[in-house]
């Protein structure tokens, strides 16, 4: 596939030196391994290799969702790709699904749901976080099916009709405070993923959903990177050791 003016390209020199750029005339990519004139990328093909001004190899790759998420500005804690990807699958995210999210934070979840083809409605109480997320998504054209709502998730039932959403992902400080309003706007039988950082919050959440949702499961996703070298392949020594816990519940009508 050809790289055109306006294309997004991941310039990959090594794991520490990789950056998504938009190809534009008159702009350059710069790192400690040298510069690349971006207008020289027009007409090349993804997968090709070019040389920086200092003679290092740079690969021209197509950005993936993970590359995009890791290039976002972050103002908050985020739900990492390993976790949000599993949530999306467990909840059945996909084209045509109407998804509720709170809080928006830096937009990692918003962008993932949008990438999966969902219509996303995301609630955030802090204007500056909403703006950061909005800019993050706009930069990569992921904002088209997203409605950003500057309000507490507690108010969702005042903004949307009953049984409007197919699924929800909730990552706010006190999730038990939004359970009643989220229940109102979800379709019967639909799934919700809550994201919490501690065991005691899982316990509190489980008690709080009783009668409105059934508890499906709680889990932690571990990711262990490997350093692959002939005759010496082993786990890497450093990395993210803990992110959080997800709880999956489903709406029921017990009345």
Ligand X SMILES: C[S@@+](CC[C@H](N)C(=O)[O-])C[C@H]1O[C@@H](n2cnc3c(N)ncnc32)[C@H](O)[C@@H]1O
By beta-carbon proximity to ligand X, the closer residue of 12 and 105 is 105
Question: C-alpha distances in angstroms, 86 versus 111, 124, 126?
Answer: 14, 23, 27
Give the nearest distance from C-beta 216 to ligand X in angstroms.
20
Positions that interact with ligand X (CB under 6 A): 76-79, 102-103, 105-109, 123-126, 129, 152-154, 171-173, 178
In degrees and rounded to multiples of 5, residue 37 shows phi and psi of: -80, 115
Give the nearest distance from C-beta 186 to ligand X in angstroms.
16
Query: Cβ(208)–Cβ(181) under 8 Å?
Result: no
Q: Is the dihedral of CA 68, 74, 79, 82 positive or negative?
A: positive
Give the nearest distance from C-beta 126 to ligand X in angstroms.
4
By beta-carbon proximity to ligand X, the closer residue of 189 and 197 is 197
Tokens linked to 201: 């919050």
Tokens linked to 245: 């816990």
Tokens linked to 179: 């359970």
Query: Cβ(194)–Cβ(223) under 8 Å?
Result: no
By beta-carbon proximity to ligand X, the closer residue of 54 and 219 is 219
By beta-carbon proximity to ligand X, the closer residue of 10 and 79 is 79
Q: Quote the CA–CA distance of 138 and 234 in Å, as a whole number.
A: 39
By beta-carbon proximity to ligand X, the closer residue of 246 and 249 is 246
Give the nearest distance from C-beta 154 to ligand X in angstroms.
6
In degrees and rounded to multiples of 5, residue 40 shows phi and psi of: -75, -10
Give the nearest distance from C-beta 5 to ligand X in angstroms.
31
The annotation status of 121 as a binding-site residue, yes or no, is: no
Known binding-site positions for S-adenosyl-L-methionine: 124, 129, 171
Annotated binding-site residue numbers: 124, 129, 171
């Amino acid at each position: 596939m050809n790289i055109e003016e306006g294309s997004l390209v991941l310039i990959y020199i090594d794991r520490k030196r990789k950056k998504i750029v938009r190809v534009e005339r008159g702009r350059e990519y710069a790192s400690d391994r040298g510069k690349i004139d971006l207008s020289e990328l027009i007409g090349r093909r993804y997968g090709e290799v070019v040389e920086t001004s200092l003679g290092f190899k740079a690969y021209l790759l197509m950005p993936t969702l993970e590359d995009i998420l890791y290039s976002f500005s972050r103002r908050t804690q985020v739900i990492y790709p390993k976790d949000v990807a599993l949530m999306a699958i467990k909840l059945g995210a996909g084209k045509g699904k109407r998804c509720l999210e709170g809080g928006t934070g830096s937009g990692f979840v918003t962008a993932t749901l949008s990438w999966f083809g969902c219509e996303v409605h995301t609630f955030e109480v802090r204007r500056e976080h909403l703006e950061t997320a909005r800019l993050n998504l706009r930069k990569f054209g992921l904002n088209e099916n997203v409605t950003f709502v500057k309000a507490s998730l507690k108010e969702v039932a005042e903004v949307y009709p009953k049984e409007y959403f197919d699924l929800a992902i909730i990552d706010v400080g006190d999730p038990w405070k939004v359970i009643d309003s989220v229940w109102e706007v979800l379709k019967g039988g639909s799934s919700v993923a809550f994201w919490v950082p501690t065991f005691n919050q899982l316990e509190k959440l489980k008690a709080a959903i009783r009668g409105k949702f059934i508890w499906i499961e709680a889990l932690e996703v571990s990711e262990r990177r490997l350093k692959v070298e002939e005759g010496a392949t082993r786990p890497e020594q450093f990395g993210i050791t803990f992110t959080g816990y997800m709880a999956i519940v489903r709406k029921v009508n017990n009345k």
